Amino acid sequence: MPIGAIVNSGALAAGAFVGAALGARITGESKLLLTNLMGVCAIAIAVVNIVKLHSYRRSSSR
């Protein structure tokens, strides 16, 4: 059973529900801050994975 797809869909639905319920209460400045924070987190995750890939390739070529 594709548990990952089910969990991902559930998290997406829960996030949409929370966003719809609380979206009107969050100020524009807070929305911008959250968007920027999520962007920085995505970049950090990408950098960590690139470093891991580079390290893996370096150790496997020996």
12, two tokens: 């997406």
User: What pLDDT score does 62 carry?
Assistant: 61
- Count of other CB atoms within 10 angstroms of residue 20: 9
Number of domains present in the structure of the chain: 1
CA 32 – CA 16 distance, rounded (Å):
17
User: What pLDDT score does 54 carry?
Assistant: 83
User: What pLDDT score does 7 carry?
Assistant: 95
User: What pLDDT score does 33 carry?
Assistant: 95
Low-confidence ranges of the chain (pLDDT < 50): none
Query: 30: domain range?
Result: 3-60
User: What pLDDT score does 50 carry?
Assistant: 94
